[in-house]
Amino acid sequence: MNKEQLIALGLTEEQADKVVAGFGQMIPKSRLDDKIQEVNDLKTQIADRDQQLEELKKVDAEGLKAKIAELQEDNETAKTEYETKLKDTQLSAALKLALAGKVHDADLVASLIDKETIELGEDGNVAKGLDEQIKTLQESKSFLFVQNEGGGTKLAGFTPADGQTKTKPTEKSVGANFAKSANESSKTNTENSIWG
């Protein structure tokens, strides 16, 4: 959200400035989820290594060399898989963050984007490769994107009066005429009533 949107929601300009200033200090939930996933993966790797060490204690010298070679190969494969999974998780989070507020369904649009051509910056945000793909998608599937109206609500029609009445003081307004007819009607009803 930007300052204008916050003001449109009813915040004062001072409150909106404070909220916008606080945006830079917040950590997006997607980054927190990335770190939680990373910690869980590391815990799994530690448990695997502990199990491997227990198995090594049971093997003789020749078998130990073969087992070490096998475990090194397994660890290299696990490391590659982990790095690929981590990169994919970071890329997905960065895509969702970059698409937030611009599209109706960030997951759907992210699935339509070629992730191989996107590069992440050091800060974890999309550095390049996304803008071109978004422009192409906006041209071919514009219904997926939120239409940005720019200046808020624009009113159409005639310009309302500026608060000055154009009736002469001697003329009665519509409200006065209505009140007069209502009073006459109730007076007639009271005269015709057996109680009045």
* Predicted local confidence at residue 170, as pLDDT: 53
Domain span at residue 11 reads 3-144
Specify if 118 maps to a domain. yes
Confidence at 169, pLDDT banded by 50, 70, 90: low
Whether residue 182 lies inside any domain: the answer is: no
Does some domain include residue 156?
A: no
What is the pLDDT of the chain when averaged over all its residues?
80
Give tens-digit pLDDT for 150-165: 555 565 667 666 665 5
Number of folded domains in the chain?
Answer: 1
pLDDT at position 163 is 60
- What confidence category does residue 40 fall into, taking pLDDT thresholds of 50, 70 and 90? very high
Examine residue 89 and state whether it is found in any structural domain, yes or no. Answer: yes
Q: Is 159 inside a domain boundary?
A: no
Asked whether residue 129 is assigned to any structural domain, the reply reads yes
Confidence (pLDDT) at 107: 84
Residue 187 within any structural domain of the chain: no
- What pTM, to 2 d.p., does this model score? 0.45
Question: Could you tell me the two tokens for 27?
Answer: 């950590």
Residue 139 is assigned to a structural domain of this protein = yes
